[in-house]
């Protein structure tokens, strides 16, 4: 909730800062339009907003993980680290209640820690020491070193002077002291607002992990191999899908018989999510490359067939008529009119297909694989290596985005007339 509140605050504040502080000197045509609300063509992404948006996500990530990338004053309050103390009041059969101090050294998990050294103190209840990791909690047997133990009716009745009973707890400035149903004290140091690294590692930890896996590898394959295999499967599956799907779509767009024959198949297969085919493909072809490529082939096939079919039906009849009355043969019309004319549709289909293939390959690798981006994050999640999971998600996103950008560039170069006729 706090994170969302901060994010929203950044959104609003930066909007007003940009609006009132950054004066736009531009006098282009759009800036002279008086009606922009409702005029979609006058709405362009505000670049400052994009930059602030991305930066604030990283800022929030860094602030709530105590990252070294941002100065300390921006950090959200961290967990308590150091020596925490509280006093308890104990009673035992036939004894007057006695106070003693508990000193608990709270340490960062993963670092070496020594027991604090304290004076045992006066009275029958002796001072105690213990260690607890940050974000963890620990049971503290305060009676273990006292002169009268549980056999003598040892019972803690107050912490820091506040009465306590089984099931209740007392809040100290170092954290919560609770009491188990059996009367044992349980210390949970204050967690602060930061995320524990096993839930959300700091950005630099993820970055370090990228370098580590890029050089040393993960599960006997380097990062490049994992990503490369995923990409390889997508490309091969997509290419086969396009090689079969595009001619199939053309045939469906040009012949009644083909249209009638394949329409039920295509229309049935189209709404079946490729993910639903994973179990069947694993049964038939196993979890190796062949199975993955068959799956991606099937994912791309229907999309490409439908795109090619739409491309053929998108050819205006006057173009075809014109070509016929200019003396072109059927083959020439196919080659010089129908194919180039359906390129825009095919490219749109190819972009969709590549997106679907990329999603499907990751999902298929999540289910079962020896290597690949999805397999990497799946295995890492089982070992709670959140940094690898995060890294994998970011890289999968970056690659998916990169594929789309490349497809758009190819489209611009090959189909410059798209949307201009």
Partner 1 sequence: MSGLTIEKISMRFDLPNGSSVQALKDVSLQLAEGELLSVLGPSGCGKTTLLNIVAGFLAPTDGTITLNGHRVKGPDAERGMVFQQGALFEWMSVRENVSFGPRMAGKRERDWGTHVDHLLDVVGLRDFKEKAVYELSGGMQQRVALARCLANDPDVILMDEPLGALDALTREKMQGLVLKLWKETGKTIILITHSVEEALLLGERLLVMAPRPGRIHREYRLPFADMGVNADLREVKKHPDFGQKREEILSMIWDMEEEIMGRTEESA
Q: Is 316 in the site for partner 1 (CB under 8 A)?
A: yes
416 binds partner 1 (CB under 8 A): yes
- List the one residue from 151, 167, 327, 382 that touches partner 1 (CB under 8 A): 327
Q: In the bound complex, what is the minimum distance in angstroms from residue 414's beta carbon to partner 1?
A: 9
Number of residues that bind partner 1 (CB under 8 A): 22
Minimum distance from residue 339 beta carbon to partner 1 (Å): 9
Contacting range for partner 1; rule: CB under 8 A; set: 92-100, 165-173, 325-333, 350-358: 325-333
103 and 113 in contact (C-beta within 8 Å)? no
Shortest approach of partner 1 to residue 334 CB, angstroms?
12
Q: Which of 49, 157, 265, 322 binds partner 1 (CB under 8 A)?
A: 322
Closest contact distance (angstroms) between CB of 344 and partner 1 is 10
- Residue from the set 82, 332, 370, 384 that interacts with partner 1 by CB under 8 A: 332
State the nearest-atom distance from the C-beta of 333 to partner 1, in Å.
9
The correct pick among 173, 321, 408, 412 for binding partner 1 (CB under 8 A) is 321
Q: Toward partner 1, which CB reaches closer, 270 or 336?
A: 336
| Location of structure tokens 């006695």 | 98
> Of 76, 254, 294, 328, which lies in the binding site for partner 1, with binding defined by CB under 8 A?
328
Q: Which is nearer to partner 1, 8 or 417 (CB)?
A: 417
- Which residue reads 């085919």 in tokens? 277
Rounded to a whole number of angstroms, the minimum distance from the CB of residue 256 to partner 1 is 17
47, 326, 383, 413: which one binds partner 1 (CB under 8 A) = 326
**Region from 67-75, 106-114, 280-288, 335-343 binding partner 1, contact rule CB under 8 A:** 335-343
Interface residue with partner 1 among 36, 313, 329, 384 (CB under 8 A) is 329
Judged by CB under 8 A, which stretch of 63-71, 143-151, 333-341, 358-366 contacts partner 1?
A: 333-341
Examine residue 340 and tell whether it contacts partner 1 (CB under 8 A): yes
In terms of Cβ atoms closer than 10 Å to its own Cβ (0-12, 13-18, 19+), residue 24 is exposed
Q: Phi/psi at 420 (nearest 5 deg)?
A: -125, 20
Of 210, 242, 258, the residue nearest 390 (C-alpha): 210
Which of the stretches 39-47, 136-144, 265-273, 323-331 binds partner 1 when contact is defined by CB under 8 A?
323-331
Q: In the complex, what is the shortest distance from the CB of residue 336 to partner 1, in angstroms, rounded to a whole number?
A: 7
Q: Which of 19, 319, 330, 412: binder of partner 1 (CB under 8 A)?
A: 319
Q: Which of 8, 18, 16, 102 is nearest to 57 (CA)?
A: 8
Question: By C-beta, is 274 or 344 nearer to partner 1?
Answer: 344
Q: In terms of CB distance, is 200 or 343 closer to partner 1?
A: 343
Q: SS3 letters for the chain?
A: CHHHHHHHHHHHHHHHHHHHHCCCCCCCCHHHCCCCCCCHHHCCCCHHHHHHHHHHHHHHHHHCCCCCCCCHHHCCCCCCCEEEEEEEEEECCCCCCEEEEEEEEEECCCCCCCCCCCCCCCCCCCCEEEEEECCCCEEECHHHHCCCCHHHCCEEEEECCEECCCCCEEEECCEEEEECCCCCEEEEECCCCCCCCCCCCCHHHHHHHHHHHHHHCECCECHHHHHHHHHHHHHHHHHHHHHHHHHHHHHHHHCHHHHHHHHHHHHHHCCCCHHHHHHHHHHHHCCCHHHHHHHHHHHHHHHHHHHHHHHHHCCCHHHHHHHHHCCCCHHHHHHHHHHHHHHHHHHHHHHHHHHHHHHHHHHHHHHCCCCCHHHHHHHHHHCCCHHHHHHHHHHHHHHHHHHHHHHHHHHHHHCCCCCCC
Verify binding: residue 343, partner 1, rule CB under 8 A: yes
Would you count residue 38 as binding partner 1 (CB under 8 A)? no
Give me the least distance between CB of 417 and partner 1, in Å please: 4
| Residues at the site binding partner 1, with contacts judged by CB under 8 A | 316, 318-319, 321-329, 332, 336-337, 340-341, 343, 416-417, 420-421
């Amino acid at each position: 909730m706090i994170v969302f509140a901060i994010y929203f605050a950044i959104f609003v504040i930066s909007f007003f800062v940009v609006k009132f502080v950054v004066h736009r000197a531009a006098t282009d045509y759009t800036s002279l339009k008086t009606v922009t609300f409702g005029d979609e063509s006058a709405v362009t992404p505000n670049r400052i907003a994009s930059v602030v948006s991305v930066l604030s996500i990283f800022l929030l990530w860094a602030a709530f993980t105590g990252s070294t990338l941002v100065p300390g004053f921006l950090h959200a309050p961290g967990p308590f680290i150091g020596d925490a103390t509280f006093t308890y009041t104990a009673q035992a059969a036939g004894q007057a209640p006695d106070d003693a101090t508990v000193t608990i050294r709270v340490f960062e998990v993963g670092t070496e820690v020594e027991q604090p050294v304290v004076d045992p103190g006066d009275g029958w209840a002796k001072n105690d020491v213990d260690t607890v990791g940050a974000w963890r909690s620990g049971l503290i047997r305060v009676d273990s070193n006292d002169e009268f133990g549980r056999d003598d009716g040892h019972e803690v009745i107050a912490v820091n002077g506040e009465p306590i009973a089984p099931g209740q707890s007392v809040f100290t400035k170092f954290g919560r002291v609770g009491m188990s149903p059996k009367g044992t004290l349980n210390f949970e140091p204050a967690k602060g607002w930061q995320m524990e690294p096993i839930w959300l590692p700091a950005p630099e930890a993820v970055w370090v992990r990228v370098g580590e896996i890029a050089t040393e590898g993960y599960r006997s394959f380097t990062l490049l191999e994992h990503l490369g295999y995923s990409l390889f499967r997508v490309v091969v599956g997509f290419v086969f899908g396009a090689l079969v799907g595009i001619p199939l779509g053309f045939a469906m767009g040009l012949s009644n018989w083909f249209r009638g024959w394949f329409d039920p198949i295509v229309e049935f297969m189209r709404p079946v999510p490729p993910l639903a085919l994973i179990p069947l493909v694993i049964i038939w072809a196993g979890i190796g490359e062949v199975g993955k490529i068959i799956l991606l082939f099937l994912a791309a096939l229907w999309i490409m067939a439908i795109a090619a079919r739409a491309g053929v039906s998108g050819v205006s009849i006057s173009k075809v008529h014109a070509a016929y009355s200019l003396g072109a043969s059927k083959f020439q019309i196919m080659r010089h009119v129908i194919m180039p004319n359906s390129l825009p549709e095919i490219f749109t289909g190819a972009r969709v297909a590549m997106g679907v293939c990329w999603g499907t390959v990751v999902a298929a690798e999540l289910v079962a694989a020896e290597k690949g981006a999805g397999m990497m994050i799946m295995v890492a999640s089982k070992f709670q290596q959140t940094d690898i999971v995060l890294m994998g998600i970011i890289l999968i996103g970056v690659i998916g985005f990169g594929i789309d950008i490349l497809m758009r560039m190819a489209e611009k170069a090959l189909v410059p007339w798209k949307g201009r006729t």
